[in-house]
């Protein structure tokens, strides 16, 4: 038996494996156009819903879909628009049982009605696109003005500290010069008697030394008080920023739950075993991403009126990462 005879079967097997792999890759299942339409409609509705309230605090919403897991909507608080971060897929959970008392036909009809409403809302929103753009620009301008005012205040306080620090250094340098001159005269006093001019200079230096010590001490207290005031202002601003962020997070979660209750039935192409999630990326010193994860079956219950938006929000898996 030749080497060619031995190698040929292995080459044939390898070729078949490669062909099988290519065929599997070509046969990858595409997301249905209907599901894609559902998700895009919900994305547009969420964009308008989350922008309501005190200005445009939310950036552009994007979404991604993981088969068997569900849909993840992503956005960020509006300190710099368009900051989206990838996130690992959610771990699959066991499928939930169908809702008791609501059969498939009723749910389908409910879903169709909600989807029709969602499409109408989407179409109506398109007419107001310019108004929403103006609102976003105004909110962004207001945020920039507030940030600029805060920056100017911080700059003024830093300038005041810098001036006090320079004055303090000048006084300390003068004090060291006086102490050096005093040491020179006092050394001369140890080896011989001082003349009248030297005695006069030593007296003046002692007086100058006492004055400078007092000024340095007062300047040190003034500098410490100003530095404490700066730290106090920073802490106040940090507290306000944290409070505003908490308000934003609470409002986003509430609006998200309400929107899912009002228009969640339009996600009828999403399987009941999957999830609808929102990722909010925040900004700041200790910025974190915040997540709300809703089971599709819980959303169905809210759509059918078995629970309200507040109860739906409590059922969500809420966490920070």
Q: Which helix (H) or strand (E) holds 292?
A: strand 289-295
Closest by CA to 38, choosing from 302, 269, 260, is: 269
Q: Are 294 and 96 in contact (CB under 8 A)?
A: no
Q: Is-contact 275 312, C-beta < 8 A?
A: no
* In the chain, domain spans: 31-80+101-141+243-320, 147-236
Q: Rounded distance, CA 188 to CA 177, Å?
A: 17
Backbone φ and ψ of 234, nearest 5°: -60, -40
> What distance in Å separates the CA atoms of residue 75 and residue 277, rounded to the nearest whole number?
11
Q: Check pLDDT > 50 for residue 151.
A: yes
Q: What's the pLDDT at 10? A: 46
**Does 92 or 171 have the greater pLDDT score?**
171
Tokens representing 159?
């300038």
The model's pTM: 0.57
Task: Name the residue among 129, 209, 221 with its Cα closest to residue 168.
Answer: 221
Q: Residue 115: what pLDDT?
A: 53
User: What SS3 class is residue 289?
Assistant: strand
pLDDT, tens digit (0-9, with 9 covering 90-100), for 90-145: 333 333 334 444 455 555 555 555 555 555 554 454 434 455 455 455 555 555 56
Query: pLDDT class for 207, splitting at 50, 70, 90?
Result: confident
Q: How many CA atoms lie within 13 A of 213 on its CB side?
A: 8
């Amino acid at each position: 038996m030749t080497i060619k005879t031995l190698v040929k079967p292995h080459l044939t097997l390898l070729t078949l494996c490669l062909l099988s792999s290519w065929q599997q890759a070509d046969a990858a299942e595409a997301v249905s156009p209907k599901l894609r339409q559902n998700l895009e409609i919900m994305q547009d509705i969420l964009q308008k819903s989350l922008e309501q309230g005190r200005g445009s605090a939310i950036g552009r919403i994007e979404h991604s879909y993981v088969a068997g897991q569900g849909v993840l909507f992503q956005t960020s608080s509006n300190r710099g628009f368009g900051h989206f971060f990838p996130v690992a897929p959610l771990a699959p959970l066991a499928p939930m049982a169908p809702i008791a008392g609501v059969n498939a036909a009723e749910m389908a009809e409910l879903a169709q009605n909600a989807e029709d409403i969602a499409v109408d809302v989407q179409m109506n929103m398109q007419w107001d696109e310019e108004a929403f753009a103006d609102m976003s620009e105004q909110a962004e301008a207001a945020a920039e003005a507030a940030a600029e005012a805060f920056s100017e205040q911080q700059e003024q306080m830093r300038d005041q500290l810098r001036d006090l620090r320079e004055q303090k250094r000048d006084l300390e340098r003068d004090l060291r010069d006086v102490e050096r001159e005093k040491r020179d005269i006092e050394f001369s006093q140890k080896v011989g008697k001082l003349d009248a001019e030297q005695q006069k200079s030593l007296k003046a230096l002692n007086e100058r030394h006492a004055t400078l010590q007092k000024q340095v001490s007062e300047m040190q207290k003034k500098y410490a008080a100003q530095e404490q005031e700066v730290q106090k202002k920073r802490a106040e601003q940090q507290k306000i920023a944290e409070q505003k962020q908490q308000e934003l997070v609470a409002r986003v979660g509430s609006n998200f739950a309400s929107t899912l209750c009002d228009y969640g039935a339009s996600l009828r192409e999403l399987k009941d075993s999957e999830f609808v999630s929102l990722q909010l990326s925040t900004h700041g010193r200790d910025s974190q991403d915040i997540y709300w994860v809703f089971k599709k079956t819980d959303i169905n219950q809210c759509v059918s009126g078995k629970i309200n938006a507040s109860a739906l929000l409590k059922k969500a898996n809420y966490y920070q990462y």
